[in-house]
Amino acid sequence: MPVPCFLSSRFLGETRRPYFQILMSKIFLNAVFTIAAAAALTACGGGGSDSPVPEATQNVALEFAAVAGTAPVQCGTVVQGLGIGGVAAQVKDLRFYISDVALLKADGSPVPLALSANDDWNLSAGADRTTLIDLENATGACSGGTPATNALVRGTVPAGNYVGVKMTMGVPFALNHTLYSDVTTAKPPLDIAAMAWSWQAGRKFSKIELTDPAGADGTWTAKTFAVHLGSTGCTGNPATGETVKCLNSNRMQFQLNNFHPAQQKIAIDLKALLEGNDITRNVAGAAGCMSGGTDPECAGIFKALAIDWKADGTGTGLPINGGAAQTVFRTIAR
């Protein structure tokens, strides 16, 4: 019988004691050894259950907010200082998908955020994770939206010290084009018709729209300026088993260093997004930027998003240097 690491196996004085006492002593000591050995195995590093000890986790809530420079932005109020000429506008829509969130350790290594359970705002399928951030509330010029809003990405990470965050504005390819390509059968939050962008192009990664604050009586020649980010040049119908391929993925990546979720929010700055455009008129193509490879309204938008775009249509649609030069997302105090 193996001897526990903290017990001695010597039996002292047995030979001088009557046989019956020796026998009873052996039975008693064998029972003691059996119990002690079972307890000792754990102390010695052996035996017991093979199930790993659950890793400690911590909850994370990333909060988003809309601003124009330093001014808060919301539906039903006039936003000042937008675009070339610093014009006034009202928000008509303000929704976007955030995916593949990871918190950053001090050495720069990313730790993926495990999203909260699937619901109206979150969807995880395998390694693919996305959350709809909805900052419109169906009031004012946002009347075509929904009253329900969501400003949070919630989830968990292993317990530890984190100093930053990285993420993507966009929907992962598999969720966009394969698993849930059809908006009518997709799981939330990919089932919103307003965020659909044809069967082959999946979803609008962002649906950000500004409108003339004076409405039909205003001076804008194009009454709405839209920023619809999404994949373009897509071919293949997943509904019939075809493989989808897109010439330009147009997913925006960005990283925020020195970010602490308990003290800070992530702001989307409409002033920075629209800086290079006269939002009161449309030069060519669709009203605003709808990710067209040669649409002149997209030049300033894609520069702010740090996505490769070229006026001759040869842009790759990929993040430039991981989005290091993007100006749209930044941290602000809670």
Q: Which domain holds residue 37?
A: 1-51
Residues 107 and 225 reside in one and the same domain: yes
pLDDT for 195? 96
Q: What is the DSSP letter of 323?
A: G
Residues 13 and 130 reside in one and the same domain: no
pLDDT for 201? 78
pLDDT for 131? 98
Structure tokens at 317: 């649609």
Share of the chain above pLDDT 70, in %: 84
Q: Convert the pLDDT of each residue in 301-317 to its tens digit.
A: 999 999 999 999 999 99
CA-closest candidate to residue 324, choices 155, 164, 173, 129: 164
Share of the chain above pLDDT 90, in %: 74
Q: Convert the pLDDT of each residue in 189-229 to its tens digit.
A: 999 999 999 777 799 999 999 999 999 899 999 899 999 99
Q: Convert the pLDDT of each residue in 5-38 to its tens digit.
A: 433 333 334 344 444 444 444 444 454 444 444 4
Q: Convert the pLDDT of each residue in 93-119 to its tens digit.
A: 999 999 999 999 999 999 999 999 999
Residues 39 and 177 reside in one and the same domain: no
- Among 28, 51, 74, the domain-final residue is 51
Distance CA 255, CA 276 (A): 22
Q: Convert the pLDDT of each residue in 255-284 to its tens digit.
A: 999 999 999 999 999 999 999 999 999 887
Residue that the structure tokens 């991981």 belong to: 322
The secondary structure of the chain in percent helix, strand, coil, rounded to multiples of 5, reads 20, 35, 50
pLDDT for 33? 44
- Among 51, 68, 83, the domain-final residue is 51
Residues 45 and 61 reside in one and the same domain: no
Residues 15 and 153 reside in one and the same domain: no
pLDDT of 52 strictly over 80:
no
pLDDT of 1 strictly over 80:
no
**Going by C-beta distance under 8 Å and a sequence separation of 6 or more, which residues neighbour residue 222?**
280, 281, 282, 287, 288
Q: How many domains does the chain have?
A: 2
Residues 28 and 133 reside in one and the same domain: no
Residues 46 and 128 reside in one and the same domain: no
Q: What is the DSSP letter of 27?
A: H
Q: What are the CA-CA distances from residue 179 to residues 97, 124, 191 (Å)?
A: 17, 11, 12
Cβ-contact 82, 88 below 8 angstroms = yes
pLDDT for 184? 87
Q: pLDDT band at residue 47, thresholds of 50, 70 and 90?
A: very low
The CA radius of gyration of the chain, in Å to the nearest whole number, is 30
Residues 106 and 37 reside in one and the same domain: no
Distance CA 150, CA 277 (A): 28
Residues 38 and 93 reside in one and the same domain: no
Residues 270 and 205 reside in one and the same domain: yes
Residues 77 and 47 reside in one and the same domain: no
Residues 45 and 65 reside in one and the same domain: no
